[in-house]
Amino acid sequence: MAGVTDDGLVQLLDLLKGASYDFVTPTPATHALVRRRRPAREGSLLRDIFGWTRPFHAAQVDASLLRLMQAGDLLVETDGFLVSRLRVSTLGGRYYLHSAPTTNAAAVFLGPDSYRFASLLARSLKDGKPFRRALDIGTGAGVGAITLQDLCPGAEVFASDINPAALRLAGLNARHAGLPLRLVEASGLPAAPATFDLIVANPPYIAGDAGKTYRDGGDDIGTALGMDWARSSLDRLSPQGRFLLYTGAPVIEGRDIVRDALAALCAERDFSLSYEEIEGDVFGGTLRQAAYQDVDRIAAVGAIVQAP
């Protein structure tokens, strides 16, 4: 049954691509606000169903689309309406299935951070330096891994995640794109292979969200998980290998604690560090939480660590 369901989802992505479907995922707050404005309507029905996840009636959609949604086990009935279990977003010409809504621990998230992460990868790897084996840690919907495979088609690209639901959707997204990702269920780095030329990560970085795997960055104001991945990654880089990190960095009294921690980690190993602040203020509402009482802001940052 899973194979039939998966086939239906890939065929759905084919249909959306053929219809020139396009949807850029906003923040959850923006999504909730816009979603409430009006019901699904004919002129933007595909975006309403798969982007904004607005409720719709079966009579509003073409029979072939309804069959694909049924085959993909996407339909949820509520108050006489239907709602899609999954959303579809576009990024870099690729189509990504991901969760709708993102309210449970096993949700597969794709949002503004995903777009910034993909942009960081494209900018950082534009030097054309080849990599034979790469890893995207915590791949989620597969944005990092698929972007890497697009940037270097001949490379062997691994995608790891602790969430089986994420690996399934990442695999379907890669299958639709015609890309041969190596999917591995793991918490952090997989046990094998031993080394990688390139490791990338976009870890969760919000403190106090233990109920949501895709958001919970652990202790140290949400930075613990990202730094654990960084330490493990530096130990698994091949000579001249690179580790690319996109994350959120709490800034306290002008001090970026992620930059300081990465600088200390690189100094221990004689690795080089390149660091940039991509966005000065993200998830500002999070500062209301007790864990952030001393934090001035959360910056979206990108780091490149180079092995000697």
Alpha-carbon gap, residue 211 to 100, rounded angstroms = 16
Taking only the tens place, the pLDDT of each residue in 265-285 is 999 999 999 999 999 999 999
Give the chain's residues under pLDDT 70.
1-4, 101-103, 209-217
Distance of CA 86 to the CA centre of its chain: 15
Residue 233 CB partners (closer than 8 Å, separation 6+) = 137, 189, 199, 201, 243, 305
Q: What is the pTM of this model?
A: 0.94
- What pLDDT sits at residue 215? 58
- What pLDDT sits at residue 224? 93
Q: How far is CA 52 from CA 101, 108, 171, 290, in A?
A: 10, 16, 23, 32
Report the percentage of the chain scoring pLDDT > 70: 94
Whether the CA torsion 100, 101, 107, 112 is positive or negative: it is positive
Which of 231, 237, 233 minimizes the C-alpha distance to 133? 237
- What pLDDT sits at residue 104? 77
- What pLDDT sits at residue 202? 97
- What pLDDT sits at residue 220? 77
Which domains occur in the chain, in start order? 2-93 (no CATH), 106-306 (3.40.50.150)
Overall size of the chain counted in residues: 308
- What pLDDT sits at residue 1? 39
